[in-house]
A and B are shown apart, each in its own frame.
Chain A
Amino acid sequence: MILDIKNLDVSIANKEVLKGLDLKVNKGEVHVIMGLNGTGKSTLLKAISGSYETVSKGKMDFLGESLLELSADERAVKGVFMSFQNPIEIPGVNTIYFLRTAVNEQRITRGEEELSSVDFMKILQEKMSFLDIDKAILQRSVNVGFSGGEKKKSEILQMMMLEPQLLLLDEIDSGLDIDALKSVAKGINALHSSETAMIIVTHYNRLLEYVKPDFVHILDQGKIVKTAGAELAKELEDKGYENVLETP
């Protein structure tokens, strides 16, 4: 099992958002979490990746080891990656420099050798052309002045460079045109393997036409209240939450 969450309570600013949440994710699985606004979907991803905002209680094991005592960067080095719904701007720091620092910091912490500039550039160029990203963003400050599409593609690029084992995608499909959505989906599928797993938070079915989920969960009032296969997302889109949740 890659992620084992049991009876998890999470609060933000002393307000309880998740109450007794259970979620098991095995290697190779794609989980989708849907739910109305404010039900705690983003909070769950933030809690898994180790945000300062969240205070978590309960069980949260990643590959058999508890994540709760680890800082966000320690979790990242172990293989957890979150793409942000609204990626944060860092003025004055080049995207390429940011990427290289992240890649090499993770390698150093794991006791591996740093990637040379040449090797790094080679890998980076491959991934960029795969995702159809304009090279110009490399010299621009992280997320500063990026379009919505560029931000999301840059998140996927970072994810591909860091090769995480657990992918947490927070509304990666919001604000994307159809071409950008396809590129993003392509990147996500490229990382989908028998060794990785992902949790996708989304409001829409459209990403799921490209990325096939194994499970769709509905989050409501801090808990997972319904779990089914890919068909649930379709049903939600057709009928709306109220009707789906009322059906036993």
Chain B
Amino acid sequence: MAQDIEAFIDQEYKLGFETDVDMDQAPIGLNEDIIKLISKKKDEPEWMLQWRLKAYTKWLKMSEPNWAHVHFPPIDYQSISYYSAPKQKINSLDEVDPQILKTYERLGIPLEEQKILAGIAVDAVFDSVSVKTTFSENLAELGIIFCSISEAIKDHAELVQKYMASVVPMGDNYYACLNAAVFTDGTFAYIPKGVRCPMELSTYFRINALNSGQFERTLIIADEGSYVSYNEGCSAPMRDENQLHAAVVELITLKDAEIKYSTIQNWYPGDAEGKGGIYNFVTKRGKCLGDNSKISWTQVETGAAITWKYPSCILLGDNSRGEFYSVAITSLAQQADTGSKMIHLGKNTSSTIISKGISALKGSNAYRGLVKIRPQAHNARNFTQCDSLLIGDKCAAHTYPYIDVKNPTAQVEHEATTSKISDEQLFYTQTRGISEEQAISLIVNGFCKEVLNQLPMEFAVEAKALLSITLEGSVG
């Protein structure tokens, strides 16, 4: 039976194709000239270049974090190409290389009619550049800005300068600092006062070029009383070499605003022996700047060889609220060290962390979370629940919760469970005529339900498919 489960889990990576497109790629290696080249390629203003160079100088003096429960050989930062773009210049969708469009179709994210029907605005990032942002014009009528970060740097410099690095400072950590120096593209969104964004905003990231890294930077600002739901998805071709993905995401909510941020991460996980795959070293943080504001992170992490990621919330405004819902699956030889930080600063702030870790084969899954209640945060509340599910007997699950309370009025709860899919559960389900494969899906799906329920409908469907679940209607 164990072998059947392994065969089921060990399904081939379905997005591992490579796209043959004429690429404009920077020479391998990292130095000031490369940073100048990136800045020039993107036709950036001088302040941006200076900011990048400052980050680079800082980065040179920093060292990689080594506290995470992950193991990998040292990364040679001089063997990576820091800029890679399809050669063609793009003005309209018709001019996008058909090969790239085909790639997106295979990924299931058509940029065309289907999405118009679906009502999702998509920004697609292919290696280092944003290929096409759909729907920008429709959104512009409402005053919503949704474009690539490169465009925003040129066209909305005042917003970018005001908010970029206000949540994740340039030198926050090693990977974030590297990103500050070399980030190539990403998404920018601004929702003006009182506007409820009428559609889901989406970005799809894809690493295609060999030896290239992806360093995207996303900045979303929700002005007073506004609301936006934003989704991102990712994939990459199968390669024997490890590829680096070091992104920075910053969210800012002003008074009474809300951002809901959902991720489906399906980077290539490498093979069963741990060869190849993406290193997913990402800094995601949101700041509830205004009173009564809310930031909610939902993530489904199924891919990547190594995941190092802690979407967090700084709860500055009074009555503000942070949420983190996560499903992280590690199979094959994947390693994940993921969780969340909730920093309570304002009065009556509340936060919820629900983390579901699933480990199979030789996967290793660690939850790492910090709940910090500062002295001024009266009546703060946190509820944390982390559950681990083990499949087979070669996998591992770890939990590292840190709780730091400096105000006696705080209420902090932490619950944790570890369970295994038992032969009894499988047998019981099968005696009802449900195949073993379906039975595993059903049980895993049930385990993740609280998190999957948080995803926007269409994303939930994709997530369930990723969890090898073809059963309709189990969520909701």
Contact = CB atoms under 8 A, between A and B. Distances in A.
Interface residues of A, number: 34
Contacts of A51: 427
A75 B425 CA distance: 17
B9 to A, nearest CB: 18
Nearest to B450: A92
A93 B428 CA distance: 13
B471 interface: yes
Interface in B404-456: 422-436, 438-439, 442-443, 445-450
A101 B434 contact: yes
A149 interface: no
A88 B436 contact: no
A141 B430 contact: no
A105 B433 contact: yes
Contacts of B432: 73, 76, 98, 102, 105-106, 158, 162
B19 interface: no
A98 B425 CA distance: 13
Interface in A160-186: 162
A78 to B, nearest CB: 9
B99 to A, nearest CB: 38
B442 A76 contact: no
B431 A141 contact: no
B161 interface: no
Contact of A76 (B433, B447, B473): B433
Nearest to B426: A52
A228 B12 CA distance: 57
A143 to B, nearest CB: 9
B474 interface: yes
Given A51-B427, A53-B423, A105 B446 contact: no
B474 A76 contact: no
Interface string A71-93: 11101110011101001111111
Contact of B425 (A77, A81, A88, A94): A88
B425 A52 contact: no
A72 B438 contact: no
A130 to B, nearest CB: 20
B434 A105 contact: yes
Contact of B436 (A53, A73, A100): A73
Contacts of B439: 73
A152 to B, nearest CB: 14
Nearest to A76: B433
Contacts of A77: 433
B474 A97 contact: yes
Nearest to A81: B431
B434 A91 contact: no
A88 B424 contact: yes
A228 B434 CA distance: 37
Given A71-B430, A81-B431, A88-B424, A101 B436 contact: no
A193 interface: no
B427 A52 contact: yes
Please provide the 5 A-B residue pairs with the shortest distance between their CB atoms, ordered closest to farther. Answer: A92-B446, A93-B446, A76-B433, A72-B430, A102-B432
22 contacts: A50-B427, A51-B427, A52-B426, A71-B435, A76-B430, A76-B433, A84-B428, A87-B428, A88-B425, A90-B425, A90-B428, A92-B449, A92-B450, A93-B445, A94-B474, A97-B474, A98-B442, A101-B474, A102-B432, A105-B435, A106-B432, A162-B432
Interface of A: 49-53, 71-73, 75-77, 80-82, 84, 87-94, 97-98, 100-102, 105-106, 109, 141, 158, 162
Given A90-B429, A90-B443, A91-B447, 16 more contacts: A50-B427, A52-B426, A72-B430, A73-B436, A76-B431, A84-B428, A88-B425, A88-B427, A89-B425, A92-B446, A92-B450, A93-B442, A98-B442, A102-B434, A105-B432, A109-B433
